[in-house]
Amino acid sequence: MQDTAMVRNIALIGHGNSGKTSLVEAMLYTAGKINRLGSVDDGNSSMDYEDEEISRKISISSSFGGYRWKKRDVYLIDTPGEDSFFNETVFAAHVCDSAVFAVGAVLGVKGQTKKFAELIAENGIPSMIVITKMDRERANFERTVAQIKDKLPLNPVVIQLPIGAEDDFKGAVDLISGKAYLFQDNKGTLTETEVPPEMADEVALQRESLMESIAETDEELIETFLEEGVLTEAQMKEGLKKALIAREISPVCVCSAIRNHGTALILDMINDYLPAPSELEPKIGTNTAGEEIACNPDAAGPFSALVFKTMADPYAGRLTIFRVYSGTLSGDSFYNSKKKTSERYGTLYLINGKDQHSVESAGPGMFVAVSKLKETTTGDTLCASDKPIILEAPTPLSPVITYAVSAQKGEEEKLFSSLSRMLDEDLSLKMSREQQTGETLVSGMSQVHLEVVGSRIKRKFGVQMELSLPKIPYMETIKGSAKAQGRHKKQSGGRGQFGDCWIELSPIPGEKFEFVDNIVGGVIPQQYRPAVEKGIIEAMEKGVLAGYPVVDVKVSLYDGSYHSVDSSEMAFKIAGSLAFKEAAPSAGIVLLEPIMSMVVTVGKESVGDIMGDLNSRRGKVMGMDSSPKGEVINAQVPMSEIQTYANELTSMTGGLGSFTIAFSHYEEVPSHIAEKIVAKRNAE
């Protein structure tokens, strides 16, 4: 049985280019888990190993690792820092006990940094902050700490002071112990030394400030501090850990990951201050009766785990990754309480980058994987069959951009089957079919997101996915009433064809279509009247103005004539179609376009620009509210004007804006725009 007090479970979180992956690389190397220090820039890091990550030099999906350091077993997730793949970070944050939050010493706090810090705060994750890239030109520790205090929903408390900066970054002072450490090489080696004389006053000042910050989180400590004016090293350590677990403070330390300077101190901090599963409130689930059940992190208790990631593999099938909350998994099966079925599995794996290592069992706090499960997908709860429980899973982010997808002739089925596999892996990806245009649509978080999906499909499944902007599903309707005759007469020797009907069209907004039989006296026999309706429906589907379906029309069949020999259902069907085509232009046929409801969230400084931009897109601002995340603009905008809005909002707000979108209704297209659409459609 594993001692969960010796386990740590962490997510590395931070916005793009903050140095998370380089930090993970240095941690694994210092702990002896990998035998060389890889680099993101050189494309040989152990965490960013997929072709798309190497070529773009960014993390695209969560990757997993683990190490042992001074008798502690640490399981970690390196999360993406790009908005396009934020869903991965959301799911990782949901299953981790604590977070290491990376902030670059050069770029400091940017808009997106706040987004990732808010994720930590909203999930109530205990965290420590690492100011990375201290060796880079223009690295500034004091400025970065000030920005964190001013702009992020975390309470940073400095526990390490850097010795030097940029090329002269050579060590750090631990304010808890009052000791200084110099970095010796890229293996993480440290040499204890005296605090540099020129830093003595600053160290004394910062150490007293640290004592005060820790004391303020505990009544006993504040009394001690006020009475004695000082806290012991043991009191500071104990108070710091307690305050960190209570999410009251986030200790700040420093490093240069690419030089592997300061990493050993960070590994010690993770051991000393970040919580074990047993030091946190247990995960709460519900049983079959809807009662709350605590998943105590006891290796001897009933097994429970949450599936938070699925990876598609063309050879191994799905790789299902889950976090164990209670009990120990061993044997060859478990119960999926969401799908209400038992699943058998083969080998249980620990994942380290692209490598998988088999293990006999898994206990609380561990991230483990199994392959080739038939029923289990992301968000499912795994448990013991005699103790069923359901754990809450995070809600995937809603897609904000949609493209039509296609493949080369003969490869369509292979593409759609590959896309289905990718849907299992990425819950922020959606696939649908637009009935009117016949296009298959794929929706995601950005154009980059969909391009990466296409690249993965090409590499994993050998099929090319082409992206194009979707066709707009325009409609046609009428604005007034009109009457017309449809007469079909054909004589070519022998039995001829004859159908004759009079119809009246009138608008019925929102009702799609209504057919009224007002025939009196049998001028059209009963058996032919449904054929008139079929002909009208076919004509409506093909459109009159530009070939788009006609909607919101009431058709009254009120007169006509027939021939006892030549009339037939086909003849009246053709007559009905002719009558509709004749009447529609007289009723004032117009083009309708889909209108989308948008909720755009931006900072106050961007409100004017966004509202002006929405107006330029023929949008109507319906109202504005305030929220903790910014100003919320509610608007209705034509679909044709916002097909690439995700990219444009990012440009306008520097990545700080977000929006959701949903279909609202159809509206008439302004005449000058309708003319262009009709001309283009007829030309096609």
Model confidence pLDDT, tens digit, residues 313-339: 666 668 999 999 999 998 889 999 999
Provide the percentage of residues in the chain whose pLDDT is more than 70.
99
pLDDT average, residue stretch 146-165: 96
Contact 618, 638 (CB under 8 A): yes
| CA proximity to 14, closest of 250, 244, 320, 214 | 250
Contacts 24+ apart (CB under 8 A), 77-80: 77/10, 77/11, 77/12, 77/367, 78/12, 78/20, 78/21, 78/24, 78/47, 79/11, 79/12, 79/13, 79/20, 80/16
| CA proximity to 114, closest of 440, 652, 666, 601 | 601
DSSP alpha helices (H): ranges in 39-140? Answer: 51-56, 86-95, 111-122
Amino acid at 86: F
pLDDT, tens digit, 9 for 90 and up, residues 174-183: 999 999 999 9
For residues 202 and 374, what is the distance between their CA atoms, to the nearest angstrom?
60
pLDDT, tens digit, 9 for 90 and up, residues 366-409: 999 999 898 999 999 999 999 999 999 999 998 989 999 998 88
476-587: which CATH number, 1.10.1740.10, 3.90.700.10, 3.40.50.720, 3.30.230.10? 3.30.230.10
Under DSSP, is residue 179 helix (H, G, I), strand (E, B) or coil?
Answer: strand
Q: How many C-beta atoms surround the C-beta of residue 590 within 10 A?
A: 15
Instruction: Encode burial over 253-281: b for 16+ CB neighbours within 10 A, e otherwise.
Output: bbbbbbbbbbbbbbbbbbbebbbbbbbbe
One DSSP character per residue, 323-346 reads EEEES-B-SSEEEETTTTEEEE-S
**pLDDT value at residue 314:** 61
Q: Which fold has domain 401-468?
A: Alpha-Beta Plaits (3.30.70)
**pLDDT value at residue 582:** 95
For residues 282 and 296, what is the distance between their CA atoms, to the nearest angstrom?
5
**Is pLDDT above 90 for 424?**
no
**pLDDT value at residue 124:** 94
For residues 515 and 495, what is the distance between their CA atoms, to the nearest angstrom?
30
401-468 matches 591-683 in fold: yes
pLDDT, tens digit, 9 for 90 and up, residues 246-260: 999 999 999 999 999
Question: Residue for token digits 């793009």?
Answer: 16
**Is pLDDT above 80 for 154?**
yes
For residues 384 and 386, what is the distance between their CA atoms, to the nearest angstrom?
5
pLDDT, tens digit, 9 for 90 and up, residues 491-535: 776 678 999 999 999 999 887 899 999 998 889 999 999 999 999
**Is pLDDT above 80 for 101?**
yes
Under DSSP, is residue 548 helix (H, G, I), strand (E, B) or coil?
Answer: coil
For residues 45 and 271, what is the distance between their CA atoms, to the nearest angstrom?
24
Q: Which fold has domain 591-683?
A: Alpha-Beta Plaits (3.30.70)
Contact 572, 501 (CB under 8 A): yes
Under DSSP, is residue 33 helix (H, G, I), strand (E, B) or coil?
Answer: coil
| CA proximity to 70, closest of 272, 357, 214 | 272
The CATH code belonging to domain 283-391 is 2.40.30.10
pLDDT average, residue stretch 404-430: 90
Which CATH superfamily groups domain 4-193+249-279?
A: P-loop containing nucleotide triphosphate hydrolases (3.40.50.300)
Q: Which two tokens stand for residue 603?
A: 């900072």
pLDDT average, residue stretch 25-39: 91
For residues 221 and 230, what is the distance between their CA atoms, to the nearest angstrom?
10
**Is pLDDT above 50 for 1?**
no
* Number of DSSP helices (H) and strands (E) in the chain, helices first: 16, 35
For residues 204 and 139, what is the distance between their CA atoms, to the nearest angstrom?
23
| Full-model pTM | 0.87
Amino acid at 61: S
| CA proximity to 536, closest of 576, 588, 495 | 576
Alpha-carbon distance values, 487 to 504, 567, 588 (Å): 15, 11, 22
State the number of CA atoms in the 13 A half-sphere of 122 facing the CB: 12
pLDDT, tens digit, 9 for 90 and up, residues 111-122: 889 989 999 999
**Is pLDDT above 50 for 236?**
yes
Mean pLDDT computed over every residue of the chain: 92
Show me where the domains of the chain are located.
4-193+249-279, 283-391, 401-468, 476-587, 591-683
Amino acid at 120: I
For residues 558 and 480, what is the distance between their CA atoms, to the nearest angstrom?
18
**Is pLDDT above 90 for 478?**
yes
